[in-house]
Amino acid sequence: MQILATISDTKRVAILLDLKTGRMDSIPVRAEFHDSSVDEGPSFRPFGITWERDRIYVVNNRQLLVFDKSLNYLETLAIRLQVNMHQMAYHCGRIWIVSPRTNSLLVVNPEMIDASTEFNICEQTLHGYVPRDSLQSDDQCHFNSLLWSNGYLFVAAHNFTGPSFIKCYDGTTLKEIRQFTQAGFSIHGLAFFHDELFWLSTRTYEVRSDRGYMHLLSRQGYARGFSMTSEYFVVAISEALSRGDRHGGDSWIQLIDRQKSAMVAEFYLPDTGSVNDLRLLDEYDYAHCLTPFWN
């Protein structure tokens, strides 16, 4: 089992960790990945990860970086995104990216950039994407995670100090079907398995589900980064630091047996800064619902 996790140390885009051997490799940062025009937050902040057959995408503030099967850098797509972009998913030839500051999903067509669109999460409207500036103060609910699964689109809201919630949309009409309220606090990540929805309640140190499942994480910290197979949860836990200090500190990756609700392995990742997101590359991931990149 190999995972790719984006990190915050500003020296590496991501780490590649083998959950069987503990071997770790990394993707280095290039000078052009830093954006000096970012005025609120770090100039380099890799976050969401997704892929199509032979190209893997990593979002970095306004940039959409492209890598090959061997994780070598290929190009940056010619589109200007938003600062502080979050999780991504690939669906029907489009890259869907959560944009907290615009309270929307940016829907990028990698073959026709000018045909890219934007889905307003609360108003349930889809329209052409217009690159523009946004402010941290424009962020209403801090939407941060999304998942396409079984004909549904799920979008999670951290919701700052209030209870988190999750919106569920019909995958064809993009009309809201349901909202899961009282989902925990400061939630991240979504997974869907046998009609059960799972996520991380970061502030309460739990994996939760809409059917009442709860696993209390054995390590306190900032849980962000979530994958799920038929047997395991994979959870990243970073040191709980203030937002301005998250480029420093250590992280851990936990492998958790779902049936026993018990941690079976933990991997220490020194000096990574906070983990932003992670994806499982070589097994089916119910938190991503795509054919594995390394199939």
Measured CA distances, 180 to 134, 143, 228, 241 (Å): 28, 14, 20, 28
- Looking at the chain, the whole-number percentage of residues with pLDDT higher than 70 is 100
Residue 37 is predicted with a pLDDT of 87
| Rounded distance between C-alpha atoms, residue 217 and residue 112, angstroms | 43
Let me know how long the chain is. Answer: 295
Tokens 């932003």 correspond to 276
pLDDT at 295: 82
Give per-residue pLDDT as tens, 54-80.
Answer: 999 999 999 999 999 999 999 999 999
- Per-residue pLDDT of 73-93, as tens digits, reads 999 999 999 999 999 999 999
Give 133's contacts (C-beta < 8 A, 6+ positions apart). none
Are 68 and 91 in contact by the 8 Å Cβ rule? The answer is no
pLDDT in tens, 40-50: 889 999 999 99
Q: Following DSSP, what letter does each residue of 153-189 receive, concatenated? A: EEEEE--TTSPPEEEEEETTT--EEEEE----SSEEE
pLDDT band at 284; cut points 50, 70, 90: very high
DSSP-assigned beta bridge partners for residue 250: none
d(CA 292, CA 281): 5
Question: What's the whole-model pTM score?
Answer: 0.97
Cα(190)–Cα(53) distance, integer angstroms:
22
Is a pLDDT exceeding 90 seen at residue 246?
A: no
* Complete domains list, the chain, with CATH: 2-280 (2.130.10.10)
